[in-house]
Structure 1
Amino acid sequence: MRSTFSSLALVLLTLVAAAQAQFGFFEQMFSGGGGQQEQQRQQNVPSDAAGYRRQYDGSHCDKYLCPDTLACVHFPHHCPCAWSNHEEKFELAEGHRICVSRGGFAEGEAARKVQLARQGKL
């Protein structure tokens, strides 16, 4: 009788411990204490101009500091595109440049669109 009671008590304690561990895990996952939920919240913060301004002000450049990429170049039209794998750079008059999405499948399509825009046809 005594061993049956001991075995029953051991099984009961094991079940209680397992249930507590399981529900503790779910509580952490769904109560906002979960690491993944906190990490996702940090990724979706609204744009912070003050953070960008601190980074811009903290950049050291003795030439021209590109405002969009923070690259240090000799002239503004030498600034690289932020997404060079997906954009083409075109230099305009008076030392300006634009970055245009490559888009489409035809080679030179972005250049063609820039030319049409210069002609006022786009």
Structure 2
Amino acid sequence: MQPILLALTTLLPFTTAQFQFFEQMFQGGHQHPHQQQQQAQNVASDSEWYQQTYESAHCTNYLCPSTLACVHFPHHCPCAFPAVEDKIELGEGSAVCVSKGGYRTGEAARKVELARKGVL
């Protein structure tokens, strides 16, 4: 009986290592995306990350504060979320991004213009 017991205790570390190898191989050595999301940390609640990113950005013209895009003029800055925002130029070289309004094209621009006239 001792030779069988000796053989089992000798082979046990190899079988454990083998199962660990296959576990890593089938997981691709990586965590599943769901597991990665759980381990991700929230962005800091202060503005330090933004300030560092802004200060380290290289731009020879104008650096847009909301998107960090480098453009020739401030009113050329793109909207941060163009799928849900319309960019409206106000004149005097300025522009704003506003939530798209309604179902018709240009609805947001029409509302901004009415607000500028004091009608809305």
User: Which of the five TM-score ranges fits, normalised by the shorter chain?
Assistant: 0.5 to 0.7
Task: Name stretches of at least 5 consecutive residues in structure 1 with no aligned partner.
Answer: 1-33
The residue type equivalent to 2:96 in the other structure is I
The verdict on how the C-alpha distance between 1:37 and 1:106 changes in structure 2, with shifts beyond 3 A counting, is same
The residue type equivalent to 2:58 in the other structure is H
1:46-65 superposed matches below 5 A: 46-65=44-63
Question: What is the identity percentage for the equivalent residue pairs of Structure 1 and Structure 2?
Answer: 59
Aligned length: 86
Cα offsets for 1:46-102 (capped at 9, x unmatched): 532011000000000000000110000010011111111111111113211100111
Please name the residue that 2:65 is paired with: 67
RMSD: 1.9
2:117 is the alignment partner of 1:119: yes
The verdict on how the C-alpha distance between 1:35 and 1:82 changes in structure 2, with shifts beyond 3 A counting, is closer
Separation in 2, partners of 1:62, 1:116: 36
Separation in 1, partners of 2:59, 2:53: 13
Deviation at 1:107, TM superposition (A): 2.4
Greater Cα shift, 89-98 or 62-71: 89-98
Separation in 1, partners of 2:37, 2:84: 30
SS in 1 for 2:98: strand
Deviation above 4 Å: which 4+ runs of structure 1?
A: 34-37
Task: Name stretches of at least 5 consecutive residues in structure 2 with no aligned partner.
Answer: 1-34
The verdict on how the C-alpha distance between 1:106 and 1:63 changes in structure 2, with shifts beyond 3 A counting, is same
TM-score normalised according to structure 1 size: 0.62
Separation in 2, partners of 1:85, 1:36: 25
TM-score normalised according to structure 2 size: 0.63
Higher helix share: 1
1:13-52 superposed matches below 5 A: 37-39=38-40, 42-43=41-42, 45-52=43-50
Please name the residue that 1:87 is paired with: 85
